[in-house]
């Protein structure tokens, strides 16, 4: 059975959008888990609940990062194998992905149960916020296998040339999460534990649907929990390719945790709550940017395996344009109608609204550059340059540290808000020329090479 079902007559633009639209939709649907939790917590638990979920989020987000690391690492190998017309290598990548999900889930369970409270304390959580946040963290710890599998399986399905099925499974899970959030938080008053349980049940639907897909005639691959022909080198290859994505998630978790700590030092619980709201606004764009990048990855990896460098360039330039347009448009909307969007998470607290408006203006003006950094990371991973992708991801984390340390000392709370955009501007000056140079070298073209139109 062939590894590709793609019509051979698709143009570069059509092939990009064929993956990008379902990928963006899938990421936005995935983000609904977090955003819907925030909406219900903000209205039914209050600003302390928002602060608590924002301190729990950097910990639980690690599970999604681990799942995506496995999914995109093995998915890249599946797409390359499709380009090479090698079904054996594709099945081998899937077998190793399933083993990694199982092993890493056990490790994550131990980490969350034994160190969850410590990680909350490090962020400066007081007794009330810590008690609320711990409900969320420990629930996800016990369900680590489900959350990691739910992060990986849409990428595996997408790289198996079925992006619409992957998106459909995520939509089913997200709709379930909305209903259960209302039931568990609004009706049963289970607070953050209810939000966690709702999300875990919804993720289970995605996992079960994915397993059914790989047992059906839609896929030439099969999910098997096996140790036959398992090699550590293949596991390492998957983790190496996906490590840059995991670092992006670690970066996001680390930066949010560090911001939480600094906001508690220079502000109050209310400031952390405002940061949670601004974070949800940022997350919507970040998910779009990540969806564009992940939508770019299967065709770029395919073109890489098929030795078609010109198609790699055209697809990458198209993804860059879409990322910039999306980022600038979203910030313009946030800047123009902040009170309306903040009201989704706030039930009539004017001090919280005022703080969140200030946060949007100071924290999000350069977010389109953050989207381009995500795109650059996934680009290098897609063309089998895991080292460069990992370097960008680590740099994205480290460059924040001096800004977060010095700016608050000079500017107080405003310095905390400004740390991320200023560090992003600095890193983009370095990273974007790296992508441009790699494309030039790969295609042996001049800087005047025309870019494909949208």
Residues 74-126: tens digit of each pLDDT: 998 998 888 888 889 889 999 999 999 999 999 999 999 889 999 999 998 88
| Residue 222 phi, psi (nearest 5) | -135, 135
Note whether 253 and 206 are same-domain residues: no
Assigned domain for 52 exists: yes
Assigned domain for 138 exists: yes
Note whether 433 and 313 are same-domain residues: yes
Q: Tell me the CB-side half-sphere exposure of residue 208, using CA atoms within 13 A.
A: 8
Assigned domain for 453 exists: no
Range of the domain at 357: 243-445
Band (167; pLDDT cuts 50, 70, 90) = confident
Note whether 202 and 173 are same-domain residues: yes
Look at residue 285 and tell me whether its pLDDT is greater than 70: yes
Planar angle of CA 353, 358, 363, nearest 5 degrees: 125
Note whether 268 and 168 are same-domain residues: no
Count of CB atoms situated within 10 Å of the CB of 369 = 21
Assigned domain for 302 exists: yes
Note whether 212 and 299 are same-domain residues: no
Distances (CA, A) of 145 to 101, 200, 215, 449: 7, 10, 20, 47
Q: Which one, of 432, 307, 299, lies nearest residue 374 by Cα?
A: 432
Task: Determine if residue 394 is left, alpha or beta; phi over 0 gives left, psi from -120 to 50 gives alpha, anything else beta.
Answer: alpha
Note whether 198 and 262 are same-domain residues: no
Note whether 114 and 226 are same-domain residues: yes
Note whether 143 and 271 are same-domain residues: no
pLDDT greater at residue 408 or residue 34: 408
Average pLDDT value over all residues in the chain: 88
Note whether 336 and 436 are same-domain residues: yes
Assigned domain for 377 exists: yes
Stretch among 31-35, 56-60, 230-234, 438-442 having the lowest mean pLDDT:
31-35
User: How far is the C-alpha of 191 from the C-alpha of 133, rounded, in Å?
Assistant: 10
pLDDT greater at residue 243 or residue 318: 318
Assigned domain for 410 exists: yes
Note whether 135 and 270 are same-domain residues: no
pLDDT greater at residue 320 or residue 23: 320
Stretch among 85-89, 94-98, 364-368, 418-422 having the lowest mean pLDDT:
85-89
pLDDT greater at residue 84 or residue 342: 342
Note whether 265 and 380 are same-domain residues: yes
pLDDT, one tens digit per residue, over 42-87 is 989 989 999 999 999 999 989 989 999 999 899 989 988 888 888 8
Residues 161-180, mean pLDDT to the nearest whole number: 89
> pTM here?
0.80
User: How far is the C-alpha of 116 from the C-alpha of 100, rounded, in Å?
Assistant: 22
Note whether 272 and 177 are same-domain residues: no
**Last residue of a domain, which of 195, 230, 265?**
230
Give the count of domains, the chain.
2
pLDDT of 9: 59
Across 285-383, where does the E strand assignment appear? none
Stretch among 12-16, 179-183, 235-239, 373-377 having the lowest mean pLDDT:
12-16
Assigned domain for 451 exists: no
**Last residue of a domain, which of 179, 196, 230?**
230
Look at residue 449 and tell me whether its pLDDT is greater than 70: no
pLDDT greater at residue 226 or residue 358: 358
Residues 405-427, mean pLDDT to the nearest whole number: 95
Q: Which one, of 151, 154, 169, lies nearest residue 68 by Cα?
A: 151
- CB-based contact 275:54 (threshold 8 Å): yes
Assigned domain for 238 exists: no
Stretch among 72-86, 253-267, 350-364 having the lowest mean pLDDT:
72-86
**Last residue of a domain, which of 179, 208, 230?**
230
Count of CB atoms situated within 10 Å of the CB of 379 = 26
Stretch among 23-37, 164-178, 211-225, 380-394 having the lowest mean pLDDT:
23-37
pLDDT of 66: 95
348-352, 359-363, 449-453: which is most confident: 359-363
């Amino acid at each position: 059975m062939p590894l590709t079902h793609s019509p051979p007559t698709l143009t570069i633009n059509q092939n990009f959008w064929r993956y990008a639209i379902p990928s963006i939709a899938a990421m936005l649907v995935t983000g609904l888990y977090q955003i819907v939790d925030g909406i219900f917590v903000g209205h039914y638990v209050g600003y302390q609940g928002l602060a608590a979920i924002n301190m729990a989020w950097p910990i639980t987000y690690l599970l999604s990062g681990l799942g995506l690391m496995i999914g995109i690492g093995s998915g890249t190998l599946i797409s390359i194998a499709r380009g090479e017309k090698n079904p054996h290598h594709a099945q081998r990548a899937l077998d190793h992905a399933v083993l990694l999900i199982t092993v890493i889930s056990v490790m994550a369970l131990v980490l969350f149960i034994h160190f969850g409270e410590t990680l909350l304390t490090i962020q400066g959580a007081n007794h009330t916020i810590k008690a609320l946040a711990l409900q969320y963290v420990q629930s996800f710890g016990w369900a680590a296998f489900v959350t990691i599998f739910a992060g990986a399986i849409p990428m595996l399905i997408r790289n198996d040339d079925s992006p619409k099925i992957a998106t459909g499974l995520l939509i089913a899970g997200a709709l379930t999460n909305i209903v259960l959030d209302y039931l568990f938080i609004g009706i049963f008053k289970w607070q953050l534990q209810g939000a966690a349980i709702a999300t875990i049940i919804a993720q289970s639907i995605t996992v079960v649907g994915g397993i059914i897909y790989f047992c059906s005639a839609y896929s030439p691959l099969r999910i098997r929990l096996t140790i036959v022909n398992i090699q550590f080198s293949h596991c390492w290859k998957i983790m190496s390719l996906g490590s840059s994505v995991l670092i992006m998630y670690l970066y996001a978790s680390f930066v949010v945790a560090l911001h939480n700590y600094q906001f508690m030092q220079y502000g109050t619980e209310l400031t952390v709550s405002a940061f949670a709201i601004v974070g949800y606004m940022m997350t919507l764009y970040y998910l779009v940017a990540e969806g564009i990048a992940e939508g770019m990855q299967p065709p770029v990896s395919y073109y890489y395996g098929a030795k078609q460098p010109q198609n790699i360039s055209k697809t990458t330039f198209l993804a860059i344009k879409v990322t910039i347009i999306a980022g600038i448009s979203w910030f313009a909307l946030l800047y123009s109608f902040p009170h309306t969007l903040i009201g989704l998470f706030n039930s009539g607290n004017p001090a919280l609204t005022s703080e969140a408006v200030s946060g949007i203006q100071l924290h999000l003006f350069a977010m389109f550059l953050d989207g381009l950094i995500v795109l650059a990371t996934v680009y290098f991973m897609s063309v089998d340059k895991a080292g460069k992708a990992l370097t960008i991801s680590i740099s994205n984390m480290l460059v924040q540290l001096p800004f977060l340390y010095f700016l608050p000392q000079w500017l107080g709370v405003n310095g905390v808000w400004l740390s991320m955009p200023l560090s992003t501007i600095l890193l983009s000056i370095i990273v974007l020329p790296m992508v441009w140079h790699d494309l030039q070298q790969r295609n042996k073209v001049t800087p005047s090479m025309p870019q494909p139109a949208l």
